[in-house]
Amino acid sequence: MITPPRRQGEYADREIDCQEAMEPGFQAIVDCMTEAGWTRGEIMRSLRRLIAADNMTQKENAKVEAQTLQHCRSSLADNYSCWN
């Protein structure tokens, strides 16, 4: 079971708590990967690439959402001006 944050919202050691909650699962992934024949270096490089790819995906998703919101606002403004 994953340990939840000690409380809602921000607090001083929240990221440390997150790391501690994640550590057993992280270690289990590393252990499974090494048992399958991957080296620790390969695993760590792959994890870094996965994190970088996820960051890029999140940035692109935010960009698309912002563009979609802007488009919707423009469409609503155009439609509203047609009614007046």
- At 22-55, the pLDDT tens digits run 999 999 999 999 999 999 999 999 999 999 999 9
Residue 82's pLDDT is 52
Residue 71's pLDDT is 82
More confident of the two residues 30 and 82: 30
Over residues 42-69, mean pLDDT:
94
Cβ 45 vs Cβ 54: under 8 Å: no
pLDDT per position as a tens digit, 7-21: 999 999 999 999 999
What is this structure's pTM? 0.68
Q: What is the distance between the alpha carbons of residues 32 and 38, in angstroms, rounded to a whole number?
A: 9
